[in-house]
């Protein structure tokens, strides 16, 4: 098949096949490209959309970007069910299979080290929003968020604090005072979810949101 190669993730070989109905970016089913002890999950995409010039223009189109991100995430979600993938950033594209293999060769040591660290682990996201516009409430919410992050970090293998969500872009109500990610073993995820659930009613006027389990984007070492 002609076209460029879109790379979703790098994994160790996995035995469970992906669903035959799974499609990714450009409506094309992903395939596995093996090199040494690594597997790149790739799809064919048209040059008319993903060559450098057209892609740069598309990245300014929020509708196109949103549809592409959803298709990308569909593949990552399917991989997360059967393995612990190392997701690559959106719109990682190469000229052909040879280009993908060269990338895997150059980054093999880093990929293997990161995959060892992520094996059997998933990412959970926790966000805290304050509904009240009062400055005193924001200060109290900030203190609550810091205590919550410290508490949850004690039950996770690693954690990251991201920039607060922009309410205009996210269209979510309230002011985001915590946007954090936690790396948790799959085997301990149920207990971690219960910990978060216990905090949800701990402070009037606050909303605690839990998302996941995700592939470990925040701990992959890849740019978003």
Instruction: Give start-end residues of each CATH 3.30.70 domain in the chain.
Output: 121-219
Give the pLDDT score at 224. Answer: 47
Mean per-residue pLDDT, 175-201: 93
Q: Taking the model in full, what pTM does it have? A: 0.85
- Cα distance between residue 207 and residue 209, in whole Å: 6
Give the pLDDT score at 161. Answer: 95
**CA neighbours within 13 Å on the CB side: how many for 196?**
23
Residue 221 has pLDDT above 70, yes or no: yes
- Cα distance between residue 88 and residue 91, in whole Å: 9
* The two three-digit tokens of residue 124, written as one number: 């959970």
Q: What is the DSSP string of 117-168?
A: HHTTEEEEEEEEEE----HHHHHHHHHHHHHHHHHHHTTSSEEEEPPPPPHH
Mean per-residue pLDDT, 81-93: 94
- Cα distance between residue 221 and residue 114, in whole Å: 8
Higher pLDDT, 15 or 98: 98
Fold of 121-219: Alpha-Beta Plaits (3.30.70)
Angle between helix 135-153 and 189-199 (nearest 10): 160
* pLDDT confidence tier of residue 2, bands split at 50, 70 and 90: low
Convert the pLDDT of each residue in 10-53 to its tens digit. Answer: 999 998 888 889 999 999 999 999 998 899 999 999 999 999 99
Give the pLDDT score at 138. Answer: 75
> Is the separation of the CB atoms in 178 and 214 below 8 Å?
no
> Is the separation of the CB atoms in 141 and 185 below 8 Å?
no
* pLDDT confidence tier of residue 171, bands split at 50, 70 and 90: low
Average pLDDT along the chain: 90
> Is the separation of the CB atoms in 219 and 118 below 8 Å?
yes
Convert the pLDDT of each residue in 143-163 to its tens digit. Answer: 899 999 999 999 999 999 999
* The two three-digit tokens of residue 99, written as one number: 């280009």
Provide the β-strand partners of residue 11.
Answer: 39
Torsion sign across C-alpha atoms 210, 77, 96, 68: negative
Convert the pLDDT of each residue in 188-198 to its tens digit. Answer: 999 999 999 98
Residue 59 has pLDDT above 90, yes or no: no
Closest CA to 195 of 214, 208, 180: 208
């Amino acid at each position: 098949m002609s076209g460029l190669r879109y790379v979703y993730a790098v994994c160790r070989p996995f035995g469970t096949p992906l669903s035959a109905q799974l499609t990714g970016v450009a409506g094309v089913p992903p395939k596995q490209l093996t090199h040494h002890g690594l597997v790149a999950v790739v799809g064919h995409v048209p040059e008319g959309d993903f060559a450098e010039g057209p892609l740069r223009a598309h990245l300014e189109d929020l509708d196109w970007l949103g549809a592409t991100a959803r298709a990308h995430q569909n593949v990552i979600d399917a991989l997360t069910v059967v393995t612990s993938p190392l997701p690559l950033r959106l719109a990682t594209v190469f000229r052909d299979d040879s280009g993908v293999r060269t990338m895997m060769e150059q980054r093999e040591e880093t990929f293997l080290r990161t995959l060892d660290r992520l094996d059997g682990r998933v990412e959970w996201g926790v966000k805290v929003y304050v509904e009240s516009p009062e400055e005193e409430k924001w200060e109290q919410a900030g203190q609550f968020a810091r205590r919550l992050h410290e508490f949850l970090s004690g039950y996770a293998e690693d954690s990251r604090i991201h920039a607060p969500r922009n309410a205009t872009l996210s269209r979510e109500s309230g002011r985001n005072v915590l946007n954090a990610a936690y790396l948790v073993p799959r085997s301990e995820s149920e207990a971690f979810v219960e910990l978060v659930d216990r905090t949800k009613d701990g402070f009037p006027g606050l909303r605690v949101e839990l998302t996941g389990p995700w592939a470990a984007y925040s701990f992959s070492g890849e740019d978003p």
